[in-house]
Structure 1
Amino acid sequence: MVALPSEWQILGPFPIGTREQEFGADPLEAYGGFASLEYSTSNKYPSELATDGYVGWMTVRAEDGKIGPLEFPNIRCEMNGVEMNGVPFGWSIEQYQCWIRGYVDVAERAKFEIQVQGSSEFYIDRARYHGDAYSIGTTQHIATLDKGRHTIEIRLVHDVRIYGGGVAPPQCQCTVHLQQLNETNPVRIPQDVLLPSLLSGKGFAGSFGRVSVQNLSDTLVRVTSIQIKIFSNDSKELKSSSHMLSSDPIPIYSGQTRPVGIEFSVDSSIAKLDSVRVQVHCMIEGNQTEEIQKDLTVLGIDWNEEAFAYTFIDYDGTVHYAMAKKPQVLDANPDKPVILALHGSGLEASTRFWTDSLPVQKSSWIIFPTGRTSWGFDWHGPSTKNAFAALQSIAGQNEHRWRQITTGWDMAAALKTAEESSWTIGNVKQVLYIGHSNGGQGAWYIATHFPDTAIAVVAASGYIKIQDYVSYANWVSNAHVDPYTKGIMEMSIAEYNNDLHIPNMKGIPILPHTGADDDNVPPLHSRKLMRLLNENTHDPDLVKTSIVPGEKHWWDGVLRNDTVQEFIHRQLESSKAPVSGRYFSVVTTNPAGIGSVKGIQIEQLVIPYRLSKIHVFQHTSEGNLCQFQTLNVSAFTLTEYCTLDLRNGFMIDGTSFTGIEKPRGLFVRNKITGEWRNIPDRETWPVPNERSRWLYGSLHRMYDGTHPLRVVLPTMLDSTDEKAQFQHAALQIAHDWFLYGVGDSEIVEDHAVLERTELSRNDFVVTVYLGRPKQNQALTRLTSKRTNEIGFGEDPPSIQIDDQRYSAKGTGVLFLRPGFHSQELAIVVAGVDADGFNAALRLLPKQAGMMVPEWAVIGPEAKFKGLGGFLEAGYFDNNWRILRH
């Protein structure tokens, strides 16, 4: 055993902006960095947060690794504007960072599990680990520590979104977990196994499960089999079968945790049980074949009384769950809408008070998706895909009468009445979206980006966008970065700006809903979006905000409010497709992150990441053609949602189309003449090496793959230290995707990378290549197939952008490029040295709101200047050339 220190050294606080720390932006780096500074009662460092402009060292006591809540002397928070009245900078001034140092003594060389909850980065003897910022509690790092003293250094950020705001003094805390591993097994199942709910008298609400397996050994292991056995309370084993979703053994790298999906079925006798005991048997193959066992108890629930969890295969092949609340009446109406309810930050979808916040509806099902975790990605990207997969999967399960739940037993047939035996979920393409707080923002996001699925929206206490929730205005970087570079970075998250995409919502009934005294998401957010909606329709009274006097951010009945329920019932009863009127617009900055709008799917932009629009004029008088006027659009599709009357023909920017009975397929603009043409068979478009929306970035797309995220290790290295560095980096990438999205990653060595030839049309693969081509054989092969304007030099190592060469120590590069396959997006992370590589590695986005474009060169000054230390950054055009704005 090892004892954590009872006393820790603290230095700070210093300013830091929302989502800024991954760019560096640490003022102490101007003085050599915290790791090089020794504790001193006299040394002080400049910080505008302090009354006299300087902060120094202090010590705090800790118990069981819990450090804080921290309070700093010499900080007059009210003068900085922390209190809500008269705030000069808003919550952004409450974002601060500090450093924490402690020492642990290890009696003998041993292996430990390590994690810091509440911090996104910490260091063991200067080796950087990615922490558990939200204290989700699902991950642990494995590290071997030699005999002797070891230094733990923690960079702690007071993130308002985690710790709250408007309270003086703002306080944050973290918890250090360090425990010697006494496991004798090479692997373990570190967290509860995911299984669907056991519905009393019916069976399991799904046939899929998830077992997370962590490799504790020093070598690669392969999971060859996972099986579950199910027992009644009297220990009688039920007849069941189970198998992994993967037909091949699953390799797990040393220290890595992978979520393994399983499928199972149970004999119909389970319908008589109110609880069962489950044994999980995991077979692994490494140096020897071993079996790991884990036991758990599953209690039955009454689906007439509470929401239940069902499991499904998500877009990337991992198994996830969503909660469902069945209606009062199960009927066979296939057209009834479904309600999708999006939770707030830090809230599990299974939390009882959340699933109870919406009353049971007469005939419409309510689905509560997870967004993949309690924090997710602000309902962007992976979270949105998860929500849509939850809808599609429950409809699919119902189509098959839930037969996959048990062997030879039909759930629907087990229901009592004849009317109930033919029930359906309804139309999952006709959805009423509801959300609260972050989920309220998510409801705005889905309605502005995927409006063709929305019959109506209730956005309760939802903010406009992250930059307006906790402002980016107080970033350390702002004092160092030029407006052009800052604009380039902001373009990477412009696709998530709900206000910019408001025109896409035209015709959708909206109810903004908020408490009048909300001190978390002020009513100003809802009122502003209401104003923009009404301006867009030129009707000042079209949408009105429901503002409840005396209520704050959350209150009992926030969604049971009479106004909310009357709105819901009215929209469910009408369940009509939104009416667009004779004029509407489609708006986006990135087709990769948006669905069809009024049946129009933008596929390609003339200048990627610039605002693009399609204005549609639907004339009613006979003989007048429907007209499409485009701005910065070079290709779009008319989808199944298109209800435009095009029988008399139509025009796109002056190009006439007639005689097309049911216009579908793709319309592409000639880049020379400007004329448009219809391509019914899109197999011929795009041409090789040309980008469509599938291969647009930004780097946030790294988690959108339909297969496990693949991380490729270099092996052409000069030393064992280099090898250890890259292995450690790969584990941090896999850690982040598992922690923040319960995502799966495959770590492979470069010589083992083969070109994929089996991809289907809907597949999308993301591969991360670590190191320069000289270090990474797979990257060498990839760059030999097609070069681009970002290259590498050796002797000395350098990064080449066009004719500009960067070779200074500490310089790194991160960029997208085409992969081996036409539906593969490659991400390259490299540096001229170890420091440069690590600087580039930090830029891989693991949380929503990080501003990372399609490529960036980061220099050593970023350590304290943040964005001001970026040497270049930008995007690619449709032919993978650097886009010159």
Structure 2
Amino acid sequence: MQLQTALFSSLALSQCASQISLSPTWDLLGPFQIGTREAEWGADPLSFHGGFQSLTLENTTFPSSLPINGSATWSTTTLSRTPTLSNSSRGTISVSFNNTNWDILRSTYGWSGIQFQAWARGGIELCAEETVVVYVVGANEFWIDDRQYFGGDMYAYKRAPLVVKLGRGKHKIDIRVTHDIRAFGGGMPPSVGVEVDARIAKGGLVAVEEEIVVSDLVAGRLAGKWVSLPVRNEETEGWIEVLEVSGGDVCKFTKVSIGEGYLPLGIAPGQSRPVKFLVEGIGFNSSALAVKIKYRLGNGGKENWVSARKPFATVVSLELPQKYTFLHPSGIVSYAVLRPPPSIASCDPHPNNILPILLVFHGAGVEADSDQSKSQYDGMPDLCSWVVIPSGVTTWSGDDWHIWGFADVEAGIKAIPQWMKDTNWNGQGIDLHKWVITGHSNGGQGAWYALTHRNDKIIAAAPLSGYLSIPAYVPYCMWHESDPKKKSVVFASLNSYKHELLAENMVGTPIIQQHGQDDDNVPVFHSRRMSQLITEAGWKTDYWEIPGRVHWWEGVMLDGGLSPFLRHYLEDSPTIAELPSKFSIITANPADMGSRGGIVIDQLSAPDQLGRIDVEVFDSLWHIRVSNIRRWHFEKPRSSRSRFPTRVIIDDQELEVPSQPEYWFICSLDLKWSVVSNSDWKLEERVGQQWGSLGAYLSTKGPFNIYLPQESATSPYYAEVASGISRNLFQYFAADSEISSNLFSPNTTVGNSIFIGFPEDLGVSLSDIGQEFPISKSKAAVFLRDASGYRRRYQIEPGMGLIYLYPLPKGGLGIVIWGADEVGLRSAARLFPLRTGVGQPDFVLLGREAGWSGVGGVRAMGMFDFSWNISSGAYV
């Protein structure tokens, strides 16, 4: 049976009142159970029945654990249209279900019980063959004419749409809808609004003016010279090369960018990429940034120009909050908001007139550059500090202020001396290594992350209405059933972001907590629980609950005890407190953990459990007890918070602390500690930013490189997967990526690499990494060498997919994505990290059953240890 007859009832091809139109009525099928952030694992019950794409209205009911009588059935909803021009069509479908007793589910399982998934089917009609730009907002998976597109746009960025060629007539759109509490809230009855926006493509290269990243114009000067202009190739065939960037009459540009060879910049069909450049001269009375980009379609094609223009936001005084730009470690242009210390402030206690930083983390969905954000400290206009409000690159901070978002925080702080030069600042100086941190909601969680991961830099902290961790926010109890060991691997990969496990890292730092007592967004339980855990760790917080207040209110950043707390630690006592004579360091991931008491952990023994160091200080002698730590060293703190030792007793072994700048304490297999200064271990062992789960790829120090295998020429779905990954990187992180069918070159590649296929099929040899890797493949099987050295064999079968981290030379990192067929490749690719809380370990081998059972369909998964061998805690 075809789509219901009403689906296109108002769309007659003979009339063609509009070039493009969305169907007015949409069919729904659901609801079905889904756990928190489980969709990336598959976990679609309809996959068991052949997939929603194969179903028609004749298939009437399907088993489901949510609706009354255990049956999900078809229903309909209408498109709420938004007026548009004839070359576009846009509207929102509301997805909700009245065949479920949501009150009972919520009363039993809390927010977990009212999360659901469902499918919606509608369509697009075209009067002629067209290239179409499609946005699907509020969903992370959709299909057009039975072609899958994963990633979507859960957070309404509208940064990276799909570009697809469609013929004349009707085209089916199937959208997988997931009700995620963090994205849509916990209102009753639960519902999701999904916006569909389809436009006829302009063709060629399109400059996205509304997404230009440029500094404010402050007293006639740009607060930062870096500018980013996103562009999109609106062709479905043929690459575009960006050849030149120049300015209009109002500004002059330098040659583009960092390093040789930035231009020409290749943009694949349908791909979106940010073009970055420096602006050297701006006229004093300039009102807008004018940009021209010269490009060429295909090799030897005609050269064309595209232009963009963005009005400057102007700030009259250098002492007011202002937006400045800088380079994120990945090489893209980011921004933060800076309020320099006012000249009216009296800052006598500060040595050499060097002031600390008040670091403010914004909440989810908040633009750091908004008026609300910029004005939140207007009530303290004479504060003796540098107020820094990082963007985290995106309004959701990419990954909740973790790897990607926190790298942006530190890059923004590091860029302030350049801001001083660019603006001829002659006021108070700045101490880049002394922070008072605060943040609200997701920003409060970001403050917990900073406290537990960068403790040696923090004077004091004020987490406001923040949640403990993602698993504590909306519990994972509704995930599909699986072997408990599989679940343990998933949860272990989230340990670095479970701040409740890291509470001991906060001991010694002054903390104030504040939370609205009637908060229905982040329940006050989270703050109460953290206060209790910190007490049990041997420390205490100054804890405030505000009666009658909900999640947000005007003054939330300064009310209660906040203002005197901030003034005290920024003005009266702007020093990092000395640690107690007994303190501990706990880490789950050495890559995202800074120093504490000058101690830096380099390697864990077992990567899937927490490591800890307990310290007792006796003047120049430190007694140290170690658990699950293989390698560590001292990084002498810039502050005087710890008396630096000359000798240490590690697990009853006494050792001298070397005087040379580079050395490590290392534990041998027979549990003996020694000191080494030879750094050759970095060539073959897991080092630095290579640590972490699959999300470690976000620690790239350059653009992402996506490599296609040679068979991509005959199997177009390889290129589709690569294009989808690039689109998702730009959508969720504003990250840049290069798609290439060239062989990998270890000598020229900068940044982290993504291999669509096994590394040896893409030019990577084992000699590049200096050792045999524990994952390999033959024509018939995939092999995993487990912790005992046993080579386990997994017969290749339809629907099998594999994704894993892979070490590259010079501390680089790769992600390998392989599939036995198209289904398997797409199944593995959806685990490429986009959202926090999914819990992807270092490697995952998926079977076909993952389509409906999620983690239950995993054949093997786990972590790699310090020597890139599979950990004994893996599921194999």
Letter in 1 for 2:756: L
Please report how far the alpha carbon of residue 728 of structure 1 lies from its aligned counterpart in structure 2 after TM superposition: 0.9
Following TM superposition, by how much is the alpha carbon of 1:96 offset from its aligned partner in structure 2, in angstroms? Answer: 0.6
**CA 1:757 to 1:255, structure 2 compared with 1: closer, same or farther past 3 Å?**
closer
Call closer, same or farther: CA 1:835–1:585 in 2, change over 3 Å. same
How far the C-alpha of 1:191 sits from its partner, in A, is 3.8
Counterpart Cα distance in 2 of 1:68 and 1:361: 49
Give the structure 1 partner of residue 763 of structure 2: 778
What's the counterpart of residue 869 of structure 2? Answer: 881
Give the alignment of 1:403-482 within 5 angstroms: 411-412=424-425, 422-475=426-479, 477=480, 479=481, 481-482=482-483
Structure 1: which amino acid aligns with 2:729?
W
5 Å-filtered alignment, 1:63-102, equals 63-64=80-81, 65-81=90-106, 87-102=107-122
Whole-Å Cα distance in 1 between the matches of residues 866 and 610 of structure 2?
A: 15
Deviation at 1:738, TM superposition (A): 0.8
Post-superposition Cα deviations, 1:224-258, rounded to whole Å, max 9, x if no partner, equal 22122353xxxxxx666563445321221121111
Shift of 1:202: 3.4
1:425/1:647 Cα in 2 relative to 1: closer, same or farther (>3 Å)? closer
Shift of the 663–369 alpha-carbon distance from structure 1 to 2, 3 Å rule, reads same
Equivalent position of 1:243 in the other structure: 256
Q: Distance in 2 between matches of 1:766 and 1:21?
A: 25
**Residue 299 to residue 610, structure 1, CA distance change in 2 (3 Å):** closer
Counterpart in the other structure of 1:793 = 778
TM-score relative to the length of structure 1: 0.89
Q: Which runs of 5+ in 2 are unaligned?
A: 1-18, 82-89, 786-790
In the superposition, relative to structure 1, how do residues 361 and 699 fare at CA in structure 2: closer, same or farther (>3 Å)?
A: farther
Alignment of 1:590-605 (within 5 A): 590-605=589-604
The aligned counterpart of 1:281 is: 292
SS in 2 for 1:565: helix
Instruction: Give the 3 Å change call, closer, same or farther, for CA 797–636 of structure 1 in structure 2.
Output: closer
Return the match for 2:704 from 709, 722, 733.
709
Aligned counterpart for 2:839 among listed residues 828, 846, 851: 851
Counterpart mapping for 1:260-271 below 5 A: 260-266=275-281, 270=284
| Letter of the structure 2 residue corresponding to residue 155 of structure 1 | R
What amino acid is aligned across from residue 635 of structure 1 in structure 2?
R
1:378 maps to 2:370: no
**Secondary structure of the structure 2 residue equivalent to 1:488:** helix
Alpha-carbon separation, structure 1, partners of 2:450 and 2:249: 40
Residue in structure 1 matched with residue 848 of structure 2 by the alignment: 860
What is the deviation of 1:386?
0.3
Structure 2 CA distance, aligned partners of 1:659 and 1:735?
49
Shift of 1:193: 1.8
- Judging changes above 3 Å, is the alpha-carbon distance between structure 1 residues 773 and 340 closer, same or farther for their aligned structure 2 residues? closer
Aligned-partner residue type, residue 493 of structure 2: S
Letter paired with 2:401: W
Distance 1:49 1:203, change over 3 A: same
The count of corresponding residues between Structure 1 and Structure 2 is 824
Q: Deviations over 1:295-322 (max 9, x none)?
A: 2322422246852110111111111111
User: Aligned pair in 2 of structure 1 residues 878, 182: CA closer, same or farther (>3 Å)?
Assistant: closer
Question: Aligned partners of 1:363 and 1:514: how far apart in 2?
Answer: 26
**1:826/1:782 CA distance change after superposition, 3 Å:** farther
In structure 1, how many angstroms separate the alpha carbons of the residues matched to 2:269 and 2:400?
31
Counterpart amino acid of residue 289 in structure 1: E
Secondary structure of the equivalent of 2:376?
Answer: coil
What residue is the counterpart of 1:497 in the other structure? 498
Shift of residue 647 of structure 1? 5.4
For residues 105 and 782 of structure 1, the distance between their equivalents in structure 2, rounded to whole angstroms, comes to: 53
Which residue number corresponds to residue 631 of structure 1?
A: 627
Cα distance, 1:148–1:654 mapped onto 2, change above 3 Å: same
* CA distance in 2: counterparts of 1:769 and 1:572, whole angstroms: 48
What SS does structure 1 have at the residue aligned with 2:430?
Answer: coil
Q: Distance in 2 between matches of 1:329 and 1:469?
A: 43
C-alpha distance after superposition, 1:315-359 (max 9, x if no partner): 111111111123332789553111111111111111211222223
Report the secondary structure of 1:609's partner residue: coil
Q: Which amino acid aligns with 1:123?
A: W
Q: Check the 8 A contact 2:766/2:773 in 1, yes or no.
A: no
Look up the SS of the partner of 2:856 in the other structure.
helix
* AA partner of residue 791 (structure 1): S
CA contact (8 A) 2:276 2:333 kept: yes
Once the two structures are TM-superposed, the CA of residue 116 in structure 1 deviates from its matched residue by 0.2
> What is residue 579 of structure 2 aligned with on the other side?
580
| Equivalent position SS for 1:601 | strand
Aligned counterparts of 2:769 and 2:626: Cα–Cα separation in 1: 38
1:300 maps to which of 311, 314, 322:
314
Q: Do the aligned partners of 2:392 and 2:408 also contact (CA within 8 Å) in 1? A: yes
Corresponding residue number in structure 1 for 2:154: 133
Q: Any idea what SS the aligned residue of 1:430 has?
A: strand
SS at match of 1:881: coil
Identity %: 29
Mean Cα displacement is larger for which, 380-389 or 801-810? 801-810
Contact 1:703 1:709 in 2 (8 A): no
C-alpha distance in 2 between matches for 1:347 and 1:202: 28
Matches within 5 A, 1:180-219: 180-183=200-203, 185-189=204-208, 191-199=210-218, 201-217=219-235, 218-219=237-238
Deviation at 1:786, TM superposition (A): 4.2
Judging changes above 3 Å, is the alpha-carbon distance between structure 1 residues 818 and 758 closer, same or farther for their aligned structure 2 residues? closer
Aligned to 2:390: 369
- Contact persistence 1:60–1:67 (CA under 8 A): no
1:256 to 242, 266, 271: 271
Asked whether 1:53 is paired with 2:67, we answer no
Could you tell me how far 1:2 is from its partner in structure 2?
1.4
Q: Secondary structure at the match of 1:69?
A: strand
Cα deviation digits, residues 698-755 of structure 1 (max 9, x gap): 10011210010111011135x63x1x1111111111111111111111111143x322
Aligned counterpart, 1:671: 668
Kept after mapping to 2: 8 A contact 1:771/1:829: yes
User: CA separation in 2, counterparts of 1:830 and 1:730?
Assistant: 12
1:401-427, CA deviations, whole angstroms, 9 ceiling, x for partnerless residues?
Answer: 226xxxxxxx33xxxxxxxxx324511
Shift of 1:110: 1.8
Q: 862-871 vs 296-305, which deviates more?
A: 296-305
Quote the offset at 1:663 in angstroms.
7.3
Q: Is the 8 A contact 1:197 1:205 kept in 2?
A: yes
Q: Is the 1:840–1:858 Cα contact (8 Å) retained in structure 2? A: yes
Root-mean-square deviation (CA, aligned residues, Å) is 2.3
User: Could you tell me how far 1:190 is from its partner in structure 2?
Assistant: 5.8
Q: Is the 8 A contact 2:254 2:277 kept in 1?
A: no
User: Residue in 1 aligned with 2:417?
Assistant: 395
CA distance in 2 between counterparts of 1:388 and 1:45 reads 50
The Cα of 1:779 is off from its aligned counterpart by 4.3
Matches of residues 686-765 of structure 1 in structure 2 within 5 Å? Answer: 686=682, 688-716=683-711, 720=714, 722=715, 724-751=716-743, 753-756=744-747, 765=751
Superposition deviation, residue 146 in structure 1: 2.3
TM-fit CA distance, 1:848:
1.0
Cα deviation, 1:415-467, whole Å, max 9, x if unaligned, reads xxxxxxx3245112101111000000000011111111111111000000001
Q: Match of 1:735, SS?
A: helix
Q: Distance in 1 between matches of 2:825 and 2:163?
A: 22
SS at match of 2:512: strand
TM-score, length basis structure 2: 0.90
User: CA, structure 1 residues 259+682, in 2 after alignment: closer, same or farther (shift >3 Å)?
Assistant: farther
Letter in 2 for 1:653: D
Q: Tell whether the 8 Å contact from 1:101 to 1:151 is kept in structure 2 after alignment.
A: yes
SS of the equivalent of 1:467 reads helix
Asked if 1 retains the 8 angstrom alpha-carbon contact of 2:607 and 2:864, the reply is: yes
What SS does structure 1 have at the residue aligned with 2:273?
strand
1:611 Cα deviation from its structure 2 partner: 1.2
For residue 717 of structure 2, give the secondary structure of its aligned residue in structure 1: helix
Distance 1:781 1:145, change over 3 A: farther
Q: Is residue 713–residue 769 contact of structure 1 (8 Å, CA) maintained in 2?
A: yes
Structure 2 contact 666–675 (Cα < 8 Å) conserved = no
> 1:312 touches 1:393 (CA, 8 Å); kept in 2?
yes
8 Å Cα contact 1:138-1:191 kept in structure 2: no
Q: Is the 8 A contact 2:223 2:419 kept in 1?
A: no
Distance change >3 Å, CA 656–CA 847, structure 1 → 2 = same
The answer for the alignment partner of 1:817 in structure 2 is 806
